């Protein structure tokens, strides 16, 4: 047996396994079934060729050549039927039927001496001789193959979807190679002794389609292919090594062929398992790890979530995104009602809940997972002895088919849960899936909270309209009452903020004394804890100041206490205060000042709030590079510029950035705890000074420059 003998056999293995993989994905699909029949026909051709090559007598060769035509006569019909079904070409059903009828006619004729008869032996192999009906068969053969390529080409031209277009391209190329290269197998039937590279067409055909399956989701069978890859790849590798060595030995050491065959066979058996393990790791790491670009999924979802405040639309959008990305069988979103201590089903795609709209809360699981913002993986929890008390809930997960529960939290506030069923493939959710799910959970929580608040405000508005309509005769009194309520609300926020500031100031003072060693030297771990508490106290003070300023702005009570001060000195002071945060991130924080003092008459504390907000934001949203604060005197105006090399801002986002509760999509992914109020307050403070504030950026990932200017006097 030589390399040429095994080439058809190797090709047949490729094609046969590809057919099995395709049909196992969907046995009811016409496309999948016809492709499988086509693969069987090609397998018959290649196996028959292998047997014909090793035939010892002319009689055996004729037998196997007629065996070959049991598959070959139907190849045009199967190819053509596949092209019609896959491209959804209309008005060709009659021609499909005709192709099958011709296949059966030529099958009967191929058994006679009027189709093939006699043997032609040549340097590369053996083949029967074509007779009259074989010529007729070839005419029909090439007509239908031309129709196949025509259907694929038309489908490629008229398809506007990029993914489908790529699929069409690779299907066309695969069939073109099979037709162009495989058709040379007929040359020996006309006494043309060509090298039998036609039998490699099966390998080319399978390889191109396998690439289309992996890279472009052809027939959506990638997940089935993954399981077969670890067995097919080592088998093909072993066969390739075997045939190569056997070929080299037959040329240079022909007397050692039999010995070499035994040695190579033993070697092949020994290396098969290590090869299988290698290809398994290779497949999981590089070829089949993910069907989606996680960053693209998150960016796309972030854009879409900003387009609606309707809870139903948001939930459907989240469900569709996760189903498309993970290929999950089911996704549901539940909203947590704290008063009733129950979860209410907001949307359900795929779970058989028997129309049950609410589910009881499991306190143990909620405390250990949901409230700690941990993703609950049911398989990991089911057998854990700590959760024996949650058997009822775990059993409910099993009945419903829930595999993962992802919490929807805003800080320490529970909004709800995302429930996800198993993947279509039956595979486990990997680290990338869980990372994406964590970010999606944060985005969903914010979107749902905003939606629920909007619904409450809408409901309140509707209720207000009805009450106003009923009390039209006393509208003036009702209006005054509403104003009083608004003033009371503003006053409440103001008083609460003031009341919070007093104890926080005391707390900060004591913490500072502890850190400075006034109560004795702290241990390293104690000092770290105290420093974290001190930093969190600072953040809380700033948050209180933000709400206090918003309250004052909305009530028109934000007053300026103007005095003369050096703006350069103020920026330098704030930069020194924030230098520690910049150093933690290894950022270069620099200040570019004017040569002389730049004195302005303004409210020093409020201008300090603006500068602090801009430099702090620049540090937060810059991963590497530089943050530079510049102070410039421009005629009668003083301008502060804060330039960074951070995430950047798109022109569309820049227009809305200074509005209340608005945050950039990249910013929201980096820091989910922001309020979206800092720039709004900064704008109001600058405008009260008679100045303006704005941002310039070349786009996402290209950094940004925030600027404000105020009159010197």
SS3 for 558-609 is CCCCCEEEEHHHHHHHHHHHHHHHHHHCCCEEEEECCCCCCEEEECHHHHHH
Same domain, 199 and 64: yes
Single residue among 555, 577, 598 that ends a domain in this structure: 555
The verdict on residue 73 lying in a domain is yes
Same domain, 65 and 188: yes
Sign of CA dihedral 205, 211, 214, 217: negative
Same domain, 549 and 600: no
Same domain, 589 and 516: no
Single residue among 180, 198, 220 that ends a domain in this structure: 220
- CATH number for the domain including 538? 1.10.287.130
Collapsing DSSP to helix, strand or coil, 371 comes out as coil
The verdict on residue 456 lying in a domain is no
**Does residue 636 register a pLDDT over 80?**
yes
The verdict on residue 543 lying in a domain is yes
Rounded CA-CA distance 175/456 in Å is 59
pLDDT in tens, 478-498: 667 666 666 666 565 555 555
Same domain, 121 and 24: yes
Same domain, 306 and 421: yes
- Pair of tokens at residue 547: 């709400």
Number of structural domains (the chain) is: 5
Single residue among 250, 266, 289 that ends a domain in this structure: 289
Same domain, 208 and 347: no
Same domain, 485 and 535: yes
**How far is residue 416 CA from its own chain's centroid?**
23
- Pair of tokens at residue 264: 């190579």
**Confidence class for position 664, pLDDT limits 50, 70, 90:** low
Collapsing DSSP to helix, strand or coil, 120 comes out as strand
Determine the pLDDT at residue 224. 46
Closest by alpha carbon to 708, among 580, 607, 574? 607
CB 450 within 8 A of CB 310: no
Domain that holds residue 696: 563-711
The verdict on residue 459 lying in a domain is no
- Pair of tokens at residue 535: 């930093």
- As a whole number, mean pLDDT of residues 420-435 equals 77
Q: How many other CB atoms are found less than 10 A from the CB of residue 399?
A: 12
The verdict on residue 28 lying in a domain is yes
pLDDT in tens, 524-556: 788 788 777 777 777 677 667 766 666 666 666
Determine the pLDDT at residue 217. 47
Closest by alpha carbon to 327, among 203, 478, 429? 429
**Does residue 298 register a pLDDT over 50?**
yes
Same domain, 570 and 655: yes
CB 629 within 8 A of CB 590: yes
- In the chain, % helix, strand, coil (3-state, to 5) comes to 65, 15, 20
The verdict on residue 113 lying in a domain is yes
- As a whole number, mean pLDDT of residues 277-295 equals 60
pLDDT in tens, 85-105: 888 888 888 999 999 999 999
The verdict on residue 652 lying in a domain is yes
Determine the pLDDT at residue 220. 46
**pLDDT > 90 fraction of the chain, expressed in percent and rounded:** 14
The verdict on residue 95 lying in a domain is yes
Determine the pLDDT at residue 22. 75
Residue keyed to tokens 């999950």: 328
- CATH number for the domain including 109? 1.20.1070.10
**Does residue 672 register a pLDDT over 60?**
no
- CATH number for the domain including 571? 3.30.565.10
Poorest-pLDDT segment among 178-182, 550-554, 558-562: 550-554
Backbone angles phi, psi at 403, to 5 degrees: -105, -30
Determine the pLDDT at residue 710. 93
Which residues is 376 bridged to in the sheet?
A: 405
Same domain, 310 and 399: yes
Same domain, 347 and 279: no
Q: Are strands 331-337 and 413-421 parallel, antiparallel or unpaired?
A: antiparallel
- CATH number for the domain including 304? 3.30.450.40
Determine the pLDDT at residue 387. 66
**Does residue 658 register a pLDDT over 70?**
yes
Does the predicted TM-score (pTM) go above 0.85?
A: no
Same domain, 504 and 440: no
């Amino acid at each position: 047996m030589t390399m040429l003998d095994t080439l058809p056999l190797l090709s047949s293995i490729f094609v046969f396994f590809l057919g099995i993989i395709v049909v196992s994905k969907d046995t009811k699909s016409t496309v999948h079934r016809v492709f499988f029949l086509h693969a069987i026909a090609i397998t018959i051709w290649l196996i028959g060729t292998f047997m014909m090559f090793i035939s010892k007598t002319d009689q055996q060769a004729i037998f196997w050549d007629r065996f070959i035509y049991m598959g070959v006569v139907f190849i045009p019909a199967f190819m053509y039927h596949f092209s019609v079904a896959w491209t959804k070409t209309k008005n060709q059903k009659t021609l499909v039927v005709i192709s099958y009828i011709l296949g059966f006619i030529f099958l009967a004729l191929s058994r006679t001496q009027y189709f093939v008869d006699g043997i032609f032996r040549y340097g590369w192999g053996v083949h029967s001789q074509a007779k009259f009906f074989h010529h007729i068969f070839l005419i029909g053969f090439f007509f239908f193959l031309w129709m196949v390529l025509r259907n694929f080409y038309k489908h490629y031209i008229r398809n506007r979807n990029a993914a489908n277009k790529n699929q069409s391209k690779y299907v066309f190329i695969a069939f073109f190679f099979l037709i162009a290269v495989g058709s040379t197998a007929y040359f020996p039937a006309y006494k043309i002794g060509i090298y039998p590279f036609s039998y490699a067409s099966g390998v080319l055909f399978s390889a191109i389609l396998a690439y289309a399956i992996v890279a472009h989701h052809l027939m959506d069978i990638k997940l089935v292919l993954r399981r077969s890859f670890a067995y097919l790849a080592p088998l093909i590798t072993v066969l390739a090594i075997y045939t190569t060595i056997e070929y080299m030995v037959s040329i240079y050491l022909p007397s050692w062929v039999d010995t070499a065959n035994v040695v190579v066979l033993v070697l092949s058996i020994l290396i098969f398992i290590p090869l299988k393990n290698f290809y398994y790791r290779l497949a999981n790491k590089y070829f089949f790890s993910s069907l989606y670009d996680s960053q693209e999924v998150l960016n796309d979802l972030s854009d879409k979530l900003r387009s609606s405040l309707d809870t139903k639309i948001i939930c459907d959008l989240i469900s569709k995104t996760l189903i498309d990305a993970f290929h999950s069988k089911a996704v549901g979103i539940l909203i947590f009602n704290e008063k009733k201590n129950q979860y209410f089903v907001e949307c359900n795609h795929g779970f058989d809940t028997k129309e049950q709209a609410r589910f009881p809360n499991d306190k143990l699981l909620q405390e250990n997972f949901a409230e700690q913002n941990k993703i609950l993986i049911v398989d990991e929890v089911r057998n854990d002895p700590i959760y024996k008390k949650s058997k009822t809930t775990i059993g409910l997960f099993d009945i419903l088919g829930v595999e993962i529960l992802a919490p929807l939290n805003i800080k320490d506030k529970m909004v709800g849960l995302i429930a996800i069923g198993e993947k279509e493939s039956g595979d486990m959710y990997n680290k990338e899936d869980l990372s994406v799910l964590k970010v999606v959970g944060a985005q969903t929580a914010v979107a749902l909270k905003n939606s629920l608040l909007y619904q409450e405000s809408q409901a309140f508005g509707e209720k207000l309209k009805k009450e106003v309509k009923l009390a039209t005769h006393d509208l003036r009194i009702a209006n005054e009452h509403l104003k009083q309520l608004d003033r009371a609300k503003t006053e409440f926020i103001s008083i609460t903020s003031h009341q919070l500031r007093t104890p926080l100031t005391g707390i900060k003072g004591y913490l500072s004394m502890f850190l400075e060693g006034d109560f004795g030297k702290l241990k390293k771990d104690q000092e770290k804890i105290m420093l974290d508490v001190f930093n969190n106290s600072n953040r809380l003070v700033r948050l209180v100041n933000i709400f206090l300023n918003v309250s004052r702005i909305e009530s028109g009570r934000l007053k300026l206490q103007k005095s003369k001060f050096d703006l350069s000195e103020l920026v330098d002071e704030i930069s020194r205060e924030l230098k520690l945060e910049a150093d933690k991130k290894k950022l270069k924080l620099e200040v570019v000042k004017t040569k002389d003092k730049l004195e302005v008459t303004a409210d020093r504390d409020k201008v300090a709030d603006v500068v602090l907000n801009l430099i702090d934001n620049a540090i937060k949203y810059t991963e590497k590079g530089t943050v530079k604060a510049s102070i410039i005197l421009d005629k009668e105006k003083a301008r502060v510029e804060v330039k960074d090399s951070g995430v950047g801002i798109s022109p569309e986002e820049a227009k809305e950035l200074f509005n209340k509760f608005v945050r950039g999509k990249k910013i929201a992914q980096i820091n989910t705890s922001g309020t979206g109020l800092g720039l709004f307050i900064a704008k109001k403070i600058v405008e009260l000074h008679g100045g303006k504030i704005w941002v310039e950026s070349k786009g996402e990932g290209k950094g940004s420059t925030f600027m404000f200017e105020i009159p010197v006097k």
